[in-house]
Amino acid sequence: MQRYTSRAGLVFALAVGLFTGCSGESGGPISGEVVYGTVKPIDGEKWILLLSGESDRSYSITVDEAGRFKAPKVAAGTYSIAVTHYLPTPEPTKGPARVGTGPPKQFNYLDLWTVPGGPFTLDLTKLKPKK
């Protein structure tokens, strides 16, 4: 009988620890916009954000044409941000430029973001080229 009680206690302790751990993992959606000081990015640019956090957590988020971004679920924590920027590639014989098809340039962002939080503003004046 003692052995059964010990196993039941162990199972209960593991279940409580699992649910406590899950609640510590909470976060939620994040959203924000990209600006350059007080100016929006130009048409045809493409921006991809990479959030890197503890325990090798990372999230890739694409910025839309209006300069907004959102991710439905990001775990709680503090994240560094890397940014990849693609300029439009002009196609003079086929009409307008193709959005975000130029060679990528990579940057580090000089601020950290803490989730939950936001909305966030990615100010392009705070970008530093990656080396």
pLDDT tens, position by position, 22-49: 434 588 999 999 888 766 666 678 889 9
Q: Which residues in 24-60 are b (16+ Cβ under 10 Å) and which e?
A: eeebeebebbbeeeeeebeebbbbbbbbebeeebebe
Q: What average pLDDT does the structure give for the chain?
A: 76
State whether residue 63 is helix, strand or coil. Answer: coil
In 3D, which of 130, 40, 25 has the Cα closest to residue 83?
Answer: 130
| CB count in 10 Å sphere of residue 91 | 11
Q: Strands 77-86, 104-115: parallel, antiparallel or unpaired by DSSP?
A: antiparallel
pTM of the model: 0.68
Residue ranges of domains in the chain, CATH in brackets: 27-129 (2.60.40)
